[in-house]
């Protein structure tokens, strides 16, 4: 046997070993009540000896732990195996134009700590990166987790993103962030592996991790809107990992002019600046707002929502129009892809969720039913405000549970 054949065979045996280990680890992950070695062999089709060997390695690495002993009808009780929650940790950072959110997750996806800080009004990339790094260090100190057990840092940011190079390309709502190599800057500073992915993709991944797969749209409401897609239990990314750009879908006949040259675009109709501008124009807000001051706009959006909730007709009109446009976009996407549910979330979801009522959904349900054989279900994310950061951390944990993770963890 030539040495190159031997090397190839060794490499392929290494991949098979990795693959089998991943299969066992995922089977254990899917059994929160624990699973025995015998059950693992039955579930995976691996031999009892192979399972015993892999389990020994996983126990030694600390990724799994032996739990309770389950009695069986005959013979000695079986020792159940579980993921060891403290076997690994992952950090997630979500850079949104309005807020930066941080979480640290354990191996079973529980959030051990989180923090959020308003994004600086004029977010200089270098200063902001330094702030992100300081906050990551604070989170590590606060939780007291061992640095050696942190697999890496996942970062979620607005698209478009050059995922392979870890670079923010030209985010429309973060001026000055053109071609910023955020991934490597953070990696060099924290000395941990780092990955960078799109915010909506991270959010969809979080929802998939914690809420199950299927076929769904994660409708992301941040400073910009975006569509995260899970198709056949997998996060859909597209060729360049930038799928989900829905800002220029036309959803209104008489909407606002958009910089793309059309009118009535989804992104314009739901952009905080435009909602506040609209609110001012129709008398839904009392105090003047500097539309170029993002923090003022954010505060005015909350005020606009409050005014609508207390019954001010002009403010209700603004919200109605926004919701109608978003639901038209949702309708088109769900019918195009034959989805079974829509999940809403993102930094502005808490402010805007009171306007996404069953009454307003009824028109979506009706129109959807006319063209589909299955009703659509709609909900808010169960993960809450941290969904982007939780998703970014879950993309890091994917490296433990998949032999072929979608995004490179640059170490």
Largest Cα separation within the chain, whole Å, is 83
Q: How far is the CB of 262 from Zn ion (least distance, A)?
A: 5
Least CB distance from residue 253 to Zn ion, whole Å?
A: 14
Of the pair 54, 258, the CB lying nearest Zn ion is at 258
The dihedral over CA atoms of 294, 297, 301, 307, expressed in degrees to the nearest 10, equals: 160
In angstroms, give the least distance from the CB of 255 to Zn ion: 9
- Compute the least distance from the CB of residue 258 to Zn ion, in Å: 3
The pairs formed by 367-373 with CB atoms below 8 angstroms and a separation of 24 or more are 367/331, 368/331, 368/334, 368/335, 371/335, 372/334, 372/335, 372/338
Q: Which residue's CB is nearer to Zn ion, number 270 or number 400?
A: 270
Nearer to Zn ion, 172 or 213 (CB): 172
Alpha carbons 260 and 258: distance in angstroms, whole number: 5
CB of 149 to Zn ion, least distance (A): 46
CB of 224 to Zn ion, least distance (A): 12
Q: Which is nearer to Zn ion, 37 or 324 (CB)?
A: 324
* Chain positions contacting Zn ion, by CB under 5 A: 248, 258, 260, 265
E strand residue ranges, 144-224: 150-157, 161-162, 167-168, 194-198, 216-221
Q: Which residue lies nearer to Zn ion by CB, 272 or 388?
A: 272
Residue 265 Cβ vs Zn ion, minimum distance, rounded to whole Å: 3
Helix and strand element counts for the chain (H, E): 13, 14
Name every residue whose Cβ is closer than 8 Å to that of residue 123 and which is 6 or more positions away in sequence: 97, 174, 176, 177
Instruction: Please say which residue, 128 or 252, places its beta carbon nearer to Zn ion.
Output: 252
- Smallest CA-to-CA distance from 365 within 327, 326, 319 is with 327
Task: Choose between 92 and 267: whose C-beta lies nearer to Zn ion.
Answer: 267
What residues are paired with 130 via a beta bridge? none
* Cβ-Cβ contacts under 8 Å for 336 (sequence gap 6 or more): none
């Amino acid at each position: 046997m030539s040495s190159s054949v031997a090397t190839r065979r060794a490499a392929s045996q290494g991949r098979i070993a990795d693959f089998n280990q991943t299969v066992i680890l995922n089977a254990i992950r899917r059994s929160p009540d624990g699973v025995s070695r015998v059950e693992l062999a039955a579930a995976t089709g691996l031999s009892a000896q192979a399972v015993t060997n892999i389990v020994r390695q996983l126990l030694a690495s600390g990724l799994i732990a032996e739990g309770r002993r389950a009695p069986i009808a005959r013979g000695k009780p079986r020792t159940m195996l579980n993921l060891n929650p403290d076997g690994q940790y992952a950090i997630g950072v979500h850079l949104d134009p309005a807020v930066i959110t941080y979480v640290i997750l354990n191996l079973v996806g529980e959030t051990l700590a989180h923090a959020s800080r308003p994004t600086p009004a004029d977010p200089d990339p270098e200063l902001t990166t330094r702030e992100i790094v300081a906050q990551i260090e604070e989170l590590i100190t606060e939780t007291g987790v061992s640095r050696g057990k942190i697999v890496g840092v996942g970062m979620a940011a607005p698209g478009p993103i050059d995922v392979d190079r870890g670079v923010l390309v030209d985010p429309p709502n973060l001026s000055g962030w053109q071609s910023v190599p955020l991934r490597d800057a953070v990696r060099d500073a924290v000395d941990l592996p780092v990955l960078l992915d799109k915010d909506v993709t991270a959010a969809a991944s979080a929802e998939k991790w914690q809420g199950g797969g299927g076929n769904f749209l994660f409708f992301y409401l941040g400073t910009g809107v975006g569509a995260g897609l899970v198709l056949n239990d997998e996060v859909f990314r597209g060729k360049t990992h930038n799928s989900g750009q829905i800002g220029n879908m036309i959803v209104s006949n008489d909407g606002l002019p958009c910089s793309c040259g059309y009118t009535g675009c989804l992104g314009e109709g739901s952009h905080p600046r435009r909602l506040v501008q609209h609110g001012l124009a129709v008398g839904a807000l009392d105090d003047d707002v500097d539309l170029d001051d993002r923090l003022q706009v954010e505060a005015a959006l909350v005020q606009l929502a409050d005014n609508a909730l207390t019954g001010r007709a002009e403010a209700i009109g603004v919200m109605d129009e926004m919701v109608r446009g978003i639901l038209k976009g949702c309708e088109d996407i769900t019918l195009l892809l034959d989805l079974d549910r829509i999940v809403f979330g993102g930094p502005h979801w808490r402010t805007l969720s009171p306007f996404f009522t069953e009454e307003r959904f009824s028109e979506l349900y009706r129109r959807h039913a006319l063209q589909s054989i299955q009703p659509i279900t709609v909900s808010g994310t169960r993960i809450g405000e941290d969904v982007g950061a939780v998703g970014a951390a879950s993309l890091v944990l994917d490296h433990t549970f998949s032999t072929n993770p979608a995004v490179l963890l640059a170490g």
